[in-house]
Chains A and B, each alone.
Chain A
């Protein structure tokens, strides 16, 4: 059984559709936290599409990207939340926003 047409015609379009829905939430999100949640899920969908790419073209090297992407997603989420709360607490001192 051949895997290529099912990946090309089913898996990758489903992943692209979910990326489109996530981008709608990124543009429409009422607060910044909605956008952070949406970008966190976007990185996870990116890991999934990289694994589909690795199966489609038989490249094992692509798997290394997934670990780095997971690490970057976690660190960016933590940094976003930490500095957002810090900026909200000290908004009297600095007139940034």
Chain B
């Protein structure tokens, strides 16, 4: 009976990893590639590790795998956030159909910090280059 569960989780994990790699190949932009690869990849590998935990039927391995899954869920979004922040600072181009970029021109390239947000009265100027205006 547990063989069917192992099979189910293994197949789900492999298909999600395949979806993540297809998204990494086909998405038009570095930010979209990052979002595709991190979410589906983390879920796929967590599912495959659950399959290993069911197959071995041992408490130590279960604890080990829970640790690995929690570590992945904690660290993969942090890495993706650092990648997106640094590629935005460097100024990598976005997809041409991107609607809105709120952090545009917010980084001070001489002091190497983000500028403080503008007050309410100035916000009309920043919204003019998006589609809502």
Contact = CB atoms under 8 A, between A and B. Distances in A.
B11 A63 contact: no
B3 A3 contact: yes
Contact of B21 (A21, A84, A88): A21
A33 B86 contact: yes
Interface string B58-85: 1001001101100110011011001101
Contact of B24 (A33, A37, A73): A37
A25 B24 contact: yes
Interface residues of A, number: 48
A10 B14 contact: yes
Interface residues of B, number: 53
Interface in A37-69: 37-38, 40-41, 44-45, 47-48, 51-52, 54-55, 60, 63-64, 66-67
Nearest to B50: A51
A67 B64 contact: yes
Contacts of A54: 52, 56
A74 B25 contact: no
B20 A37 contact: no
A41 B24 CA distance: 9
Nearest to A45: B17
B48 A70 contact: no
Given A21-B24, A22-B24, A55 B37 contact: no
24 contacts: A1-B4, A7-B10, A10-B11, A21-B25, A22-B25, A25-B25, A33-B30, A33-B90, A41-B21, A44-B17, A45-B21, A45-B41, A48-B13, A48-B44, A48-B45, A55-B55, A63-B61, A70-B71, A70-B72, A74-B79, A78-B79, A81-B79, A81-B83, A84-B90
